[in-house]
Amino acid sequence: MRRLGGKEVADEIMADLKIRVDALKAKGTEPKLAILRVGQREDDLAYERGVLKRFGTIDVAVEVTELDAGVSQEELDKTFDSINNDPKVHGILVFRPLPKGLSDEHMRRTIDPGKDVDFMDIRNMEDCLAGVRDCSAPCTAEAVMELIRHYQIETKGKKVTVVGRSLVIGKPVALLLTTANATVTVCHTKTVNTEEECKRADIIVACCGVAKIINENYVREGQIVIDVGMNVDEEGKLCGDVDYDKVSEIAEAVTPVPGGVGSITTAILLKHVVVNAERQA
């Protein structure tokens, strides 16, 4: 069994980005991400630490604005507007869902498409829908495609089963894989026989958010299994949607959790910031 690690993929992306960031700085442009966080949810803080670390490795600025969980809608929107209008900002990441009682509608509706590195406004997913090759996409979906590219996994004419139909990963990754000439089936909670749909696939993309649901009954020899899940198991340990121990005994290649797709996501976020800074420069 091959372990498809994410670090190797992220390293490759970062090596390219370092050159591009140096070139930008030489021309006087400092790429910058603005994070807007409301409250202090542990998940958000963990991801924020990951972003700070990743961006720090090649010295790209991250400006964190923290608002109290009890902030008013007006204050939140005003803070967002000032970040959105700041010409020195090349990307905005807002942690969502927001605390209860706050809406992200104003932000989603007004974010500058040139700063929407996290695809808050789904209208910015038009290239995924249009079938533009190698287009930008929500970070995790693009991370899956980068992993496939890095490990030279053939998609043309292959059967792919995507388990999950969310807007942040299931749907965009299905669209990207269709553009990459795979024959894609999207399974979800109302699918009658997800095991069979998975077994028939050459590649499985698990992104349903249920700990270890993809087990030995869903896989067969020769398959590539890409795990996008990020869950906590009964022992409090981080795990994916795939039961790695069992599936790795059968499948040809599996991405681990942690250390798989999740390790690529912040590199993609950084790539989006760099692309926007390049466009503006």
Residues that bind a second copy (CB under 8 A): 122-126, 129-131, 156-157, 159, 165, 167, 171, 175, 178, 181, 183-188, 190-192, 197
d(CA 107, CA 80): 7
Which secondary-structure segment (H or E) carries 7?
Answer: helix 7-26
Q: Which is nearer to a second copy, 5 or 172 (CB)?
A: 172
Q: Which is nearer to a second copy, 56 or 222 (CB)?
A: 222
Range list of H helices, 114-261: 126-130, 139-150, 170-179, 194-199, 244-247
Q: Which is nearer to a second copy, 178 or 217 (CB)?
A: 178
Q: Which is nearer to a second copy, 40 or 181 (CB)?
A: 181
Give me the least distance between CB of 177 and a second copy, in Å please: 10
Give me the least distance between CB of 76 and a second copy, in Å please: 22
Give me the least distance between CB of 265 and a second copy, in Å please: 21
Which secondary-structure segment (H or E) carries 163?
Answer: strand 159-163
Give me the least distance between CB of 225 and a second copy, in Å please: 19
Give me the least distance between CB of 262 and a second copy, in Å please: 24
Q: Which residues partner with 33 through β-bridges?
A: 62, 91
The answer to whether 211 touches 241, Cβ cutoff 8 Å, is: yes
Residue 64: C-alpha distances to residues 44, 48, 76, 230, 237 (Å): 12, 9, 14, 24, 28
Q: Which is nearer to a second copy, 101 or 131 (CB)?
A: 131
